[in-house]
Structure 1
Amino acid sequence: MAGFIIGVFALAGMIKGMIGLGLPAISMGLLTIVMSPFQAASLLIVPSLLTNFWQLFAEGRVIRLIKRFWSLILGIVVGSIWSIFPTLSDTQFPSEALLGSMLALYGIYGLFAKNLPNLSRHQHWLSPLVGYLGGALTVSTGVVLIPVVPYLQSLQLQRDDLVQSLGLAFTVSNVCLAAFLYFNPVEHIQFSYQMVLMGLIPALIGMWLGAKIRYRISEVRFRRLFFMGLIALGGYMLLRTVVKLI
């Protein structure tokens, strides 16, 4: 178990260091192979939060970013408090299937969406709506992915601004998820600080390595492999859920 957790967070951290996202998606997708989504989300909080802080503050200009995306932030907070979806604390809800669907859909989107429409002129009303859905899905799956990531990519931001904007959305979502897990505990799941640290250090090392090699490989090829991996992982999670129900 320990070796598997270390390997998962090292891989997820490296991917995040290279393209600015992927740590929650990869970590949740792989960890749920050996544990419940609630426990996986609990292990993910500290590594994800610290790596997102790194991503958010590395370039500076955070206040300017908050001023632009304050309604997105507010929407994420509201969505995590009043979610329209069943949450991770609902043991009867197949959150693994919802997470698998999100991973597969995002993988398909990443592979086949070539030119996104520029939605920046609609940002004033789209940001709170997208934020709400992102927050609601975060407390349902443990991952902020759809629709927040495609939305930010559709604003035609510069590469560094996009990475930092993703860091802002991920940081806010992680804080909301941490609060949700704290106030909605599942009694039979034991929280281990040793296991949290077991994921944190490999994630930080992996992110550092990923940032170092970001410009040394073909980003287009790596992204293609990343999205194909998400489709495979999401499909596996969906299949496993179906098998459990049969």
Structure 2
Amino acid sequence: MTDMTTSLLLLVVAAFAVAGFVKGATGMGLPAVAMALLASQISPVVAAGLLVIPSLVTNVWQLLTGPDVRVLLRRLWPMMIVMAVVTYATSGLIAGDNTAATTTALGVALVVYAAYTLCARQIHIPQWVERFLSPVIGAMTGVVTGATGVFMIPSVPYLQALGLTKDWLVQALGLSFTVSTLALAVGLAGRGALASDQLLLSCALIVPVFIGMAVGTVLRRRFSPALFRQAFLICLLALGAEMALRPLW
């Protein structure tokens, strides 16, 4: 981190501003966009470390502005606990030396998420199934997070399938993302993959993220959020495919 060039630093700042813009315009996508844009320039583990503070701040904000986090914790605690434990346990995958494999896994995760969101029809999971399925989804999300730094698969489709109203869903996503971010940060720090200068830069990157979010929010009010969302997913699909196929070139 200490030898980051000025041009690379500007690229990092621009990537986080774009990621913030996407989150402001669509309400989602900050980690996915930042990881995808930075994957060709820095290793996934460094990108994941830089995401810690901006992701944590935006997700805690999203979590605290919802109806009642205590209700969600009583309902979703099995998923959250398993997700945190598995994320911590598997964070060595992204912190390892096999950058090519990690980049490929990240690309696959982005493709799966984008393709599912674009093409899949909404499903509904009965509440009696939830108690058995939540820990499984938590474990699967933990593995994906620990391997790629992206924590949307399969937690986002699962939470969307629980039949929550809009405000409750937004808060549930904030809870899930906050738990994943904290568990990944602790896992990376415990493996020596989260340096102090990295955390300082991560703190500074809150500024371009919030500027991007402000611009994205303004444009969302003037244009169709659905159009922004579709364009974002198509771009994410293309970026993920390029990352997944990069080792073959």
Normalising by structure 2, we get a TM-score of 0.89
% identical aligned pairs = 37
The answer to whether structure 1 residue 28 and structure 2 residue 38 are counterparts is no
Aligned to 2:5: none
The answer to whether structure 1 residue 130 and structure 2 residue 128 are counterparts is no
Cα distance change on mapping 1:209 and 1:61 into 2, 3 Å: farther
The answer to whether structure 1 residue 177 and structure 2 residue 220 are counterparts is no
Point out the more displaced range, 116-125 or 138-147: 116-125
Aligned to 2:71: 64
* Offset at residue 113 of structure 1 (A): 1.1
CA distance in 2, matches of 1:164, 1:212: 22
Bigger proportion of residues as helix: 2
Point out the more displaced range, 115-124 or 16-25: 115-124
The answer to whether structure 1 residue 201 and structure 2 residue 203 are counterparts is no
Match for residue 91 of structure 1 among 67, 79, 97? 97
1:31–1:40: 8 Å Cα contact kept in structure 2? yes
The answer to whether structure 1 residue 153 and structure 2 residue 166 are counterparts is no
1:13–1:203: 8 Å Cα contact kept in structure 2? yes
Deviation per residue, 1:107-146 (Å, 9 max, x gap): 1111111332334441111111101111121111111011
Aligned to 1:226: 232
1:32–1:96: 8 Å Cα contact kept in structure 2? yes
Which letter maps to 2:236? Answer: L
2:49–2:198: 8 Å Cα contact kept in structure 1? no
Aligned to 1:165: 172
CA distance in 2, matches of 1:62, 1:206: 27
Aligned to 1:192: 198
Point out the more displaced range, 192-201 or 46-55: 192-201
**Structure 1 stretches lacking a partner, 5+ long:** none
Which letter maps to 2:208? Answer: P
Cα distance change on mapping 1:184 and 1:166 into 2, 3 Å: same
Aligned to 1:55: 62
Which letter maps to 2:228? Answer: F
Cα distance change on mapping 1:191 and 1:88 into 2, 3 Å: farther
CA RMSD of aligned residues (A): 2.1
The answer to whether structure 1 residue 139 and structure 2 residue 171 are counterparts is no
CA distance in 1, matches of 2:124, 2:67: 28
Query: What secondary structure, in the 3-state scheme, does the structure 2 residue paired with 1:117 have?
Result: coil
* Offset at residue 194 of structure 1 (A): 4.6
1:5–1:198: 8 Å Cα contact kept in structure 2? no
Deviation per residue, 1:145-200 (Å, 9 max, x gap): 1111110111122122111111100000000010011011249x884345323421
What is the number of equivalent residue pairs in this alignment? 241
Query: What secondary structure, in the 3-state scheme, does the structure 2 residue paired with 1:69 have?
Result: helix
Deviation per residue, 1:48-100 (Å, 9 max, x gap): 100101111122411112111111111111212333x9611221261110110
Query: What secondary structure, in the 3-state scheme, does the structure 2 residue paired with 1:17 have?
Result: helix
Cα distance change on mapping 1:82 and 1:186 into 2, 3 Å: closer
1:118–1:155: 8 Å Cα contact kept in structure 2? yes
CA distance in 2, matches of 1:193, 1:186: 11
**Structure 2 stretches lacking a partner, 5+ long:** 1-7
The answer to whether structure 1 residue 13 and structure 2 residue 20 are counterparts is yes
* Offset at residue 238 of structure 1 (A): 1.4
